[in-house]
Structure formats: C-alpha cells, structure tokens
Amino acid sequence: MADNDLPLVSVVIATYNQESVVEASIKSILAQTYSNIEVIISDDCSNDRTALVINNLINSDNRVKFYRQESNVGITANYNFLVSKCNGKYISLFAGDDIMHSEKIERQVQLLEANDGASFCHHAVEILDHSSGRVSGVVTHKYPFGVTKIIDVIRNFGIPGSMSVMYRRSLMTDPVFNSSIKTASDWLHIIELCSIGDGLYLDSPLCKYRQMSDYNGKDPFKYESDFVNTINIAKSKFSSVPGVNSACDYAMNRYKIGSAYRLISNGFVKEGRKVIELRFLGFRLFLVGASVYCISFLPKAPYIVRQLKKIGKLIVK
C-alpha cells in the first residue's frame, strides 16, 4: 500500500529545556515503520539550546513543523496549540524526552483502523532510567479483554504513560485539554475520550518513558490541585454513567493518601495526618491509609513512610 493510501498520523511533541534528549526522541519518530506522519513540535520558550537542536535536526525532513512559543505558556496551553495544528486522522501524543519503538505508530493505527468504536488506544511502556541509559522496568496493566473503560481511568489516575496514547482527531474538542488544569490535564482528556468510546490496550511496550527522578522534575505539591479539579469535573460531567460516582470517591480517597504520604515523607507530619480520612472505599485503601496514619506518630515517621512505597509500592504518585 502506498504512503498516500495510509491514514495520516499527527505526532505532537511539547518540549521545554530538553536539549540533551530531544534529538533522540525526534529521530525515533522519524524512523517509524509507518511513514505517513506529520511531526508537530512546539517549544515552550526554552532557556537552553532545545530550539537550536531541533532546528539543526529537522531541515532535512519536510514532515516536521516546528514552532517556538514567544513566552512560556505551560504544558496544557502548549498541547492545545499543538493539536490545533494537526491534520491527521489520528493524533499521537508524545514528549520531547521519550523514545518510540520503530513499530509503535504502525501497530496503533492497525488497531484503531480495525476497531471503529474505539476512541483511542495505548500500550505498555518501558521505563528508561536517564542516569544509566538502561531500561529499569516495564509498566503494564490488565484490562478485561484489553479494553480500557472510564471507571478504570478514574480509579487509576489515568493511564501510566500518556505518551502512549493515540486517538481520533474527529473526537477533538475545543480546547482539547481543559485550560483550568495547568499541568496534569491529560487525565481528564482520557476520561473524556472514554466517555465517547472505550480505549484499546496493547500489552507490548512500544515506547520508552524517560525517568529522570521520582517526579521527573515536577513538584507534586504544585499540581495536586489538578487532581482534585479533575475528579470534581469528572463527577460533575459523567455522574450519570454507572460506577463513575463511586470511582471518583475512590480516586479522591486515593489522592488523599498520596497527599498525606508526600507531606509526612517531607517532614510535615501533623499536616499529613490531617489529610487522611479513615473512611476509604475497600479494604486495601483503608489498610494503607490506616498504616500511614499510625506510622505518623512514630519517631522518624518521614523515613518510615518513605519505606512504604519502596517495600509495598502502596502509595501512588
């Protein structure tokens, strides 16, 4: 089949201060086995050499369009700008520090072309440790029959690896990403896609998520309000969908445990203790919340709480 007979895929990349990694990311996209793509990059006014690296790289490939914001607009606004420039049947969300496996786009297009009722697809993700350059693990999930539903996305704080998502441009809203959620807007976007049609999950890792630190340079305290806003918006918009209300309540309680964990592990023991409400849905959440609460009264509570994550992986980011 000729390239022109294949659906066009728009790959969008938001970059910011990624001069050391963006070249590898772009090269992995241009080396895809699926060639009918347009690559749309928007640099959010980086103060390093990111823009120069991109300009030096893209001159030889007319599939790439590069924009540079005149001022720093933030990740949500930058992605909204990017998707407004898309022409493809499908939109592939990506980041300037991650790496695509060569067959990623081809596999996802095949899946969506064969399933008209699906609104998006995503896949397992390898974790690339930035300091060592090695793959340190694989994030996979078990969805019944490989189908991702709105309740799954709400309860699990979205899907791990938003850079794995490909969705239909025909489902774009204006704006695509809610502008009231400044940083973690991808979670609500996936919830909204699931309200239109199920997601499909590929159990093969098709990209590498570059992990530079526990929170990839982000301060979790600064975007915790995004999680609360997302849960409240989802509950308001989709409360008529069976199971959504209880899923939102579960997510809110899960968020509170995570918030308490972060506060206590950073030495704000009394503040973290106040966040926890021992009225959780399900035995597992109750057990984790009660454990964090009780440990907060012990000497060296911040250190002990940090060990909960390492030992049992009980606390979510």
pLDDT in tens, 147-180: 999 999 999 899 878 899 999 999 998 899 999 9
pLDDT category at 249 given cuts 50, 70, 90 is: very high
The structure tokens listed for 280 are 């959780």
Locate CATH 3.90.550.10 in the chain.
6-211
Sequence-distant (6+) residues with CB within 8 A of 11 are 29, 37, 38, 39, 40, 92, 94, 105
**What are φ and ψ of residue 292, in 5° steps?**
-60, -45
pLDDT category at 313 given cuts 50, 70, 90 is: low
> Nearest CA to 53 among 82, 20, 78, 29?
20
* pLDDT at res. 213: 60
Of 173-177, 189-193, 249-253, give the range with the top mean pLDDT: 189-193
**Using CA atoms, how far apart are residues 169 and 9, in angstroms rounded to an integer?**
9
Comparing 222 with 182, the larger pLDDT belongs to 182
Residue 235 pLDDT > 50, yes or no?
yes
- Can you tell me the mean pLDDT for 233-248? 95
**Using CA atoms, how far apart are residues 122 and 108, in angstroms rounded to an integer?**
8
* pLDDT at res. 183: 85
What SS3 state is found at 146?
helix
Sequence-distant (6+) residues with CB within 8 A of 93 are 12, 79, 162, 163, 165, 166, 167, 186
Element (H, E) at 209: strand 199-211
96 close to 105: Cβ distance less than 8 angstroms: no
Q: Please report where in the chains the tokens 């996979």 appear, as a residue.
A: 140
Measured distance between the N- and C-terminal CA atoms of the chain, rounded to whole angstroms: 44
Q: Which fold has domain 6-211?
A: Spore Coat Polysaccharide Biosynthesis Protein SpsA; Chain A (3.90.550)
